[in-house]
Amino acid sequence: MSTQNETISQRVIEEIWNARRLEIVDELIATSFTHHDPNTPDLGTGPEAYKKLVSLYIRAFPNLHFSIEETVSAGDTVVIRWKSTGTQSGDLPGVPATQKPVSIEGVTISHLQNGKVINQSVSWDALGMMRQLGVIPKAAEAKDRAA
C-alpha cells in the first residue's frame, strides 16, 4: 500500500502542480479533503478547494516548479520533502507581483484513503519566500535600518 500511496502523492506534485493538469485533482483528491497550512489562506475543503489552492500559486508564479527531494511512507501516510522555484509575476494576497525569483523548501505530509489524498499538512519557508520577494527585510538589512 505504501508504494501505491507514494505514487499517488508524487502524481499530485508532478501532474497537478508541475504539469498544471487540474483535471487530475478529481482523481487524486478526496471529496472530504482538508488542507492544513498556516501560510496559505483557507480555501475550503474538497477537490474544488484544492484547484483554487493550485491556481492561487500558479497565477502568482506561472513558472512554479517542484522537485521531489525525498519521499518516505508508512501505511496511509506519505511525507515528501520538496524544493520549489519560480518567479513571482502575478499577485499573491497582499503581495503585488515583484518579478523576483524564489527558491524555497518544504515538507508535505499526506494521508490517503481508498487511493485518494484525504488531508495534507504542509510546512514551508514562507518567511524565506517573503524575504526573497523583498517584502520582509533580511535580518542584516533590518539591523542596518535600526542602527
Indicate which CATH number applies to the domain containing 19.
3.10.450.50
Q: Is pLDDT at 118 greater than 90 in this prediction?
A: yes
Give residue 115's region: left, alpha or beta (phi > 0; psi -120 to 50): left
Share of residues in the chain with pLDDT > 70 (%): 93
Average pLDDT over residues 97-107: 98
> What pLDDT, in 10s, does the model give residues 18-75?
999 999 999 999 999 999 999 999 999 999 999 999 999 999 999 999 999 999 999 9
**Residue 94: exposure state from Cβ atoms within 10 A (0-12, 13-18, ≥19):** exposed
CA–CA dist 92, 103 (Å, integer):
16
Average pLDDT over residues 85-104: 97
The single-letter DSSP state of residue 13 is I
Look up residue 14 and give its three cell numbers.
508532478
For residue 1, the model assigns a pLDDT of: 54
Its domain, for residue 26, covers 2-146
CA–CA dist 144, 146 (Å, integer):
5
* Number of structural domains found in the chain: 1
Whole-structure pTM value:
0.90
